[in-house]
């Protein structure tokens, strides 16, 4: 399964993460799974909250650290699988979340790697001195093509 990095951007502070999430939310199409990867404190939830603000509207989007899943109109699903137990995975309607008409934003998707759609987008966040490094990846042939298209449309590849 091909995975390819199609874009990189440095985010020099929380405001830049917020702007990146806004740009991603503008272009993320229905029927897409976006995984957010990176260590604890990398800014995955901050990025997800900014995407949600664009897709769902201004508001408060609590981290689903303990609830695992938060569902919003759209539908838009925000998942954090960090604390999920394998037997709990069956309680989530993953068919609807990953294969339905909505959008899924997934932190710690690695916890359910075998269940993720092969065709998907991944945003990797890595702490760096003075901020975060954002990498934009596609998985699968169609996921790579979509990642490339979205990166171009988001404007994140261009200096702003």
Ligand X SMILES: Nc1ncnc2c1ncn2[C@@H]1O[C@H](COP(=O)(O)OP(=O)(O)O)[C@@H](O)[C@H]1O
State the residues that interact with ligand X by CB under 6 A.
11, 13-14, 16-17, 38, 40-46, 107, 131-132
Instruction: Choose, by CB under 5 A, the member of 17, 32, 33, 44 that binds Mg ion.
Output: 44
Q: Contact, 123 vs 51, CB < 8 A?
A: no
Q: How far apart are CB 20 and ligand X at their closest, in Å?
A: 8
Whole-number Å distance between alpha carbons of 64 and 82: 10
Helix (H, G, I), strand (E, B) or coil at 159: coil
| Min separation Cβ 71 and ligand X, Å | 18
- Sign, CA torsion 148/151/154/158: negative
Q: At CA 133, angle to CA 128 and CA 137, rounded to 5?
A: 145
Nearer to ligand X, 33 or 45 (CB): 45
Nearest to 125 by CA among 37, 24, 34, 26: 37
The answer to the question of residue 78 lying near Mg ion (CB under 5 A) is: no
Min. distance of Cβ 43 from Mg ion in angstroms? 8
Least CB distance to Mg ion at residue 60 (A): 15
Contact between 37 and Mg ion by CB under 5 A: the answer reads: no
| Residues in 101-160 that interact with Mg ion by CB under 5 A | 107
Alpha carbons within 13 A on the beta-carbon side of 35: 23
Q: Which stretch binds Mg ion (CB under 5 A): 3-11, 18-26, 36-44, 141-149?
A: 36-44
The contact set with Mg ion (CB under 5 A) reads 44-45, 107
């Amino acid at each position: 399964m091909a995975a390819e990095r199609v874009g990189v951007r440095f985010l020099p502070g929380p405001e830049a993460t917020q702007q990146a999430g806004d740009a991603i939310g503008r272009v993320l199409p229905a029927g897409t799974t976006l995984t957010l990867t990176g260590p604890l404190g990398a800014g995955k939830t901050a990025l997800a909250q900014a995407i949600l603000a664009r897709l769902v509207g201004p508001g408060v989007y609590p981290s689903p650290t303990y609830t695992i899943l938060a569902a919003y109109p759209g539908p838009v699903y925000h998942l954090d699988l960090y604390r999920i137990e394998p037997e709990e995975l069956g309680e989530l309607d993953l068919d609807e979340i990953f294969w339905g008409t909505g959008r899924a934003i997934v932190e710690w998707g690695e916890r359910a790697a075998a269940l993720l759609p092969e065709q998907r987008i991944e945003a990797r966040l890595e702490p760096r001195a003075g901020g975060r490094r954002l990498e934009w990846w596609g998985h699968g042939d169609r996921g790579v093509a979509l990642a490339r298209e979205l990166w171009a449309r988001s404007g994140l590849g261009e200096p702003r």
